[in-house]
Structure formats: structure tokens, C-alpha cells
Amino acid sequence: MPPTEAQRASVPQSLRLAEEPPVLENVTIEVEHVTGETVSVRYKTVPGNHPKDNKNTMTLWQGSVIDWKHPELGVTQLVDNNDSDGTYTMDKLELSRKDYIVGYSVTGDVRGICASAIAKGANMLMLAPTSVTLELGAMEPDRLEISYATLGDISR
């Protein structure tokens, strides 16, 4: 049965585009300080995230890439505060002068890691330019263009 006149009148012929582009948030981390026993990380998550309540974690692996297939080889600690923009210090570690990578998970699981940073040996730091990003390129009535980047994979 074809739509009635009232039904046709209630369906918009085209959608209005937002006048302001949407603000997209992402998760970022930066290693601030490394000792033989600690790694201090500054993090910024999406607004409204409560890291402690949502069981966000930081995991540290030796090396320069996240070991997705062997999360048990990393040291995982729960973020112990509810600041969506703050710092966390991983402690009780036994670090050498090798490279380490820290992954920030918003789910508590390795599959929820969405930002990472490199810690170079004791007190030698380098920020890894890796985080999950999503960027809106074009939004038209019949087309949506999205660019994205995800974290690297150790299995390649």
C-alpha cells in the first residue's frame, strides 16, 4: 500500500547539515618520567569518562610495539582516579635501560587500548606518535567521508 499524503508530508526530503563541524575527542597519553621502578603518564580521555569507575588500565610492555597477542607479558595496572584528564604513575616495576611501551585501555582489556607512548630506558623519553584518530573529511546529503588511523600491530 503506498504511503498516505500525511505520511509523505512528515518525511523530510533532505537533512540539514550541522552549521558547526562536530568536535571529535580522542584519547592521548604522554610519558612524563621514568625511573627503574616507576613510569608516570599524563593522559587525556574523552569528556565524561571516569577511568577508575570504568576500569581503565595502563599496560607496560618491554619493546616499542604493543604485544596484542600476549597481553599477559605486560604489567597492567588500574587507573586509580576518576579524572578524565590527569596523571597516573605505574609503580612497583623493575625496568632496565631498554625501550618500553605503555598502552592506555578504556575497557581494561588489551583490545580497548586506544593510545600509546614510548618510554626510552630510565629517564630517556620519546612520545610515540600513535593514537586512534577519527576525522570527518566531508559530510554531504549523500556522502560521508571519514579518515581514521589505528595503533600498529606486532604480528605484521
Locate 3 and state its grid cell: 504511503
Instruction: Check residue 131 and give its pLDDT.
Output: 66
Domains of the chain: 28-136 (2.60.40.10)
What mean pLDDT do residues 18-31 have? 80
Q: What's the mean per-residue pLDDT of the chain? A: 81
Instruction: Check residue 88 and give its pLDDT.
Output: 95
Q: How far is CA 64 from CA 38, 102, 118, 135, in A?
A: 17, 9, 6, 26
Convert the pLDDT of each residue in 113-147 to its tens digit: 999 999 876 544 444 445 677 677 777 788 777 77
As a whole number of angstroms, the distance between CA 89 and CA 91 comes to 6
Kindly report the backbone phi and psi dihedral angles of residue 33, in degrees, each rounded to the nearest multiple of 5, phi listed first.
-155, 140
As a whole number of angstroms, the distance between CA 15 and CA 12 comes to 7
Instruction: Check residue 9 and give its pLDDT.
Output: 60
For residues 98 and 120, the answer to whether their CB atoms sit within 8 Å is no
Residue type at position 116? S
Asked whether the predicted pLDDT for residue 55 surpasses 70, the reply is yes
Kindly report the backbone phi and psi dihedral angles of residue 127, in degrees, each rounded to the nearest multiple of 5, phi listed first.
-80, 125
